Structure 1
Amino acid sequence: MINTIPSLLLAATLTLTGTQALPTLHPTASAPVTEEVVQSDVQYEAVAAPYPPAVQTALTKVRKSGGHTIVRANGKAYVVISAGQKPTGGYRIVTDQIKKTGAHGYTVRAHLQTPAPGSMKIQVISYPTLVIALPDQQAKVNVQFRS
């Protein structure tokens, strides 16, 4: 009986006032968007293990200290980037842009993405790395990495 009274009141109110859909408010931009969206104009491939032997050797050299190197193998140029040793998991290297700058010239822009503040992280030393394969074995690559 107690549960029926509120239901009857609600039904009576809706009958008397009618039901009408409220207009959907869409946000409007108050200022121009300043975030730059950059698309790659180069076809490339983010490579996962197992790597070709030459790439694995290069990765072993830059993994702990950080940095980058270029390896030419299998008709491709492999860009190997490492952020060095990090105290926890949750770090990763993200590609911002890969741009062709000439006949065999390329610019690779990447940055280190850190774990969100306050997020749970695995307590293990990690070595964030990224391996990208460009289709040009003669590529002259300029790597711009910000950590």
Structure 2
Amino acid sequence: MNIFPSLLLAASLCVTGAQSVSLSHPTASAPAVKEVAPFAAEYEAVAAPYPPAVTEALKTVRKNGGHTVVRANGKAYVVISAGQRPTGGYRLVADQVKRTGPHGFTVHVRVQPPAPGALKTQAISYPTLVIALPDQQAQVKVQMR
């Protein structure tokens, strides 16, 4: 018979959408070491026209691929290139941008090929991506797959 009140309470909480509250009691412990857990960061995919320094950086990384960081207009622009591709239809996609520290960022980028059977321009292409981060002092690591 002791189970019935508990089941009734659980059912009423489910129906009303109420949540149980856990009260924590303060306890003495060692000082906490603050760890910076990675979390999603604000960013903006930027389209042309770019600041002049970003345009120059694009010329540098476009053909061979890679990335560089340009600091301009109070932001850090991450200029990323996949290098040369045999046809059009390729693009770079930022899957995730994480903040890893006060000024640390990790950008996960993947090369998305054209869809199978899609019409493609028969010309060499150089897929690029420019991301603006709000932190001009950003230290960026790019992981491309």
Q: TM-score, normalised by structure 2?
A: 0.72
Residue 95 of structure 2 corresponds to 96
Equivalent residue of 2:140, what SS? strand
Residue 45 of structure 1 corresponds to 44
User: Which amino acid is the alignment partner of residue 126 of structure 2?
Assistant: Y
Counterpart Cα distance in 2 of 1:69 and 1:81: 7
Equivalent residue of 1:59, what SS? helix
Residue 108 of structure 1 corresponds to 107
Note the 1:127-146 alignment, pairs <5 A.
127-146=126-145
State the Cα distance separating 1:82 from its structure 2 match.
0.2
Equivalent residue of 1:58, what SS? helix
Counterpart Cα distance in 2 of 1:41 and 1:87: 33
Unmatched tracts of structure 2, length 5 or more: 1-38
State the Cα distance separating 1:118 from its structure 2 match.
2.0
Equivalent residue of 2:42, what SS? coil
User: Which amino acid is the alignment partner of residue 93 of structure 2?
Assistant: V
State the Cα distance separating 1:122 from its structure 2 match.
1.1
Residue by residue over 1:5-60, the C-alpha shift from the partner in whole angstroms, topping out at 9 and shown as x without a partner, is: xxxxxxxxxxxxxxxxxxxxxxxxxxxxxxxxxxx721111000011000000000
Q: Please identify the structure whose Cα radius of gyration is greater.
A: 1
Q: TM-score, normalised by structure 1?
A: 0.71
Residue 124 of structure 2 corresponds to 125
- The sequence identity of aligned pairs, in percent, is 73
Equivalent residue of 1:81, what SS? strand
Matched positions, count = 107
Residue by residue over 1:55-88, the C-alpha shift from the partner in whole angstroms, topping out at 9 and shown as x without a partner, is: 0000000001111011111110000000111111
Residue 87 of structure 1 corresponds to 86
Residue 76 of structure 1 corresponds to 75
Counterpart Cα distance in 1 of 2:53 and 2:96: 25
Residue 28 of structure 1 corresponds to none
Unmatched tracts of structure 1, length 5 or more: 1-39
Equivalent residue of 1:50, what SS? coil
Residue 20 of structure 1 corresponds to none
